[in-house]
Amino acid sequence: MARIKITLPDTFGFSCLIPIRIGDINYGNHVGNDAVLSIIHEARMQFFKSIGTTELDFLGTSLIMADVGIEFKKEMHYGQIVKAYVAIADISKIGFDLVYKLAVENEEGNFTTALAKTGMICFDYKTKKITSVPQHILGIH
């Protein structure tokens, strides 16, 4: 079976810290797969805030998620602080990918716990139609 393989950029221009909450923990006593999606959503919101935009007001348009892929690398646990890295990749006429690297540090070192990608499409919620990528996205990293 083919596995998802996320390609990361050489550098990330943004990172933020996100604590693991008790509600993120599943019956296996580690962060559940649904919580990883929630963590990358939080990282995306913080990334957009850092560049003065949001999903609903993204450089004159809006965004809608078209797809998501996650590679799970290592468990995360309650009380850990995740360092979430975010970068824009693969810009097209109507959208782009956001790529994420989640990492935690413990007594043994710094570990990548998950890699992810979300495909974001420019979208006009009033007309319910896809729009073009704003030109000034090229200056954002």
CA atoms within 13 A on the CB side of 115: 11
CB 86 within 8 A of CB 99: yes
Query: What does the pLDDT read at residue 85?
Result: 98
Tokens (6 digits) for 111:
């570990």
Backbone φ and ψ of 63, nearest 5°:
-125, 150
For residue 108, pLDDT over 80 is answered with no
Question: What's the N-to-C CA distance of the chain in angstroms?
Answer: 33
What is the reported pTM?
0.93
Torsion of CA 139, 69, 125, 58, to 10 degrees: -20
CB 123 within 8 A of CB 131: yes
Average pLDDT over residues 27-54: 96
Q: Is 70 in a helix, a strand, or coil?
A: strand
Indicate the pLDDT class of residue 101, thresholds 50, 70 and 90.
Answer: very high
CB 87 within 8 A of CB 120: no
Tokens (6 digits) for 21:
């909450």
- What is the pLDDT of the chain when averaged over all its residues? 94
Query: What does the pLDDT read at residue 141?
Result: 54
Tokens (6 digits) for 53:
């935009």
Average pLDDT over residues 64-72: 97
For residue 118, pLDDT over 60 is answered with yes
Q: How far apart are CA 94 and CA 108, in angstroms?
A: 43
For residue 122, pLDDT over 80 is answered with yes
User: pLDDT tens digit string along 52-63?
Assistant: 999 999 999 999
Q: How far apart are CA 8 and CA 26, in angstroms?
A: 28
For residue 70, pLDDT over 80 is answered with yes
For residue 4, pLDDT over 60 is answered with yes
